[in-house]
Chains A and B, each alone.
Chain A
C-alpha cells in the first residue's frame, strides 16, 4: 500500500510567483488535511477537504491561498504571489471516512521563497 504522496518534495519560488503543492491520499482515504510548519514551530492546521468539498478552511489565510480536492486527481494547495513568510514545510495528511482513525502524513513539501 502506497502511503500519502506529496510532490514536489522541495520547491523554490521567487517572490510574486505561484506555488502549487500536490497531495495524493492513501488508497481508500477520502479525507485530506493540509498543515503548515514554520521553522522551529509546531504544525498549524490550514484546511480540511473531502472529494469536491471544503469542510473546514478556518486555518487558511484569507488571501492568496486556496485548496481543492477534485473528483479525480490529487488535492492541490495553491499559493499565489508568494512572499518570504510563506517559506515553510507543508504537510498533507489523509484519513479514512471514520472520524476515530488517525491521520497519516505525507513526506511534506518544503517551500523556499527567495
Chain B
C-alpha cells in the first residue's frame, strides 16, 4: 500500500513564503504531483516531479527526493487567492494517483 503524509493546515501572511512538506511510502512510484483545490472546486494541476531535484514554475516550485520519500511545494510571494488546499499525490506503476489528505493554506493580510 501507500502512505502519503502532509500537514493539515498552514497559515502565512500575504507576500511571504510557505513550504508544504509531503512524505510518502509507496510500493510503486511513477511520479509525484501537486494539485491546488479551492473549496467546492476541482483540483487543478500545479507541478510534476519524477526525477530528484527542483522544478520551478513562476511563484511555485516543487522538490523531490526519491531516496528520502520526500517532496515539498514552495509558494512564494503569497497572494490572497493562494488560500486553498494543496494536495500531494503519488502516481503508482498503473497510473492511478494516491492522494494525501491535503494541506489547507490560509493567507492573511
- Contact A33 B99, CB 8 Å, known A42-B87, A102-B33: no
Interface residues of B in 50-97 (CB under 8 A from A): 50, 87, 89, 91, 94-97
Which stretch (A14-22, A61-69, A77-85, A104-112) binds chain B? A104-112
List of A residues within 8 angstroms of B101 by Cβ = 41-42
How many residues belonging to B are interface residues under a CB distance threshold of 8 Å? 23
**What is the distance, in angstroms, from A80's C-beta to the closest C-beta of chain B?**
23
Residues of B near any A CB (own CB < 8 A):
30-31, 33, 35, 41-45, 48, 50, 87, 89, 91, 94-102
CB under 8 Å from chain B, chain A span 34-59: 35, 41-45, 48, 55-56, 59
A-B contact pairs, 5 of them (CB 8 A): A42-B100, A42-B102, A43-B43, A102-B48, A105-B44
A44–B1 CA distance with the chains assembled, in angstroms: 13
Query: What's the least CB distance linking A93 to chain B, in Å?
Result: 8
Pick from A33, A44, A100, A106: contact of B42, CB below 8 A. Answer: A106
Q: In whole angstroms, what is the CA distance A99 to B42 when docked?
A: 21
On chain A, which size bracket covers the interface?
A: 20 to 34
User: Which residues of the other chain, B, contact A93 by a CB distance below 8 angstroms?
Assistant: 97
A residues apposed to B, CB below 8 Å = 31, 33, 35, 41-45, 48, 55-56, 59, 91, 93, 95, 99-100, 102-108
Q: Which residue of A lies closest to B88 (CB)?
A: A42
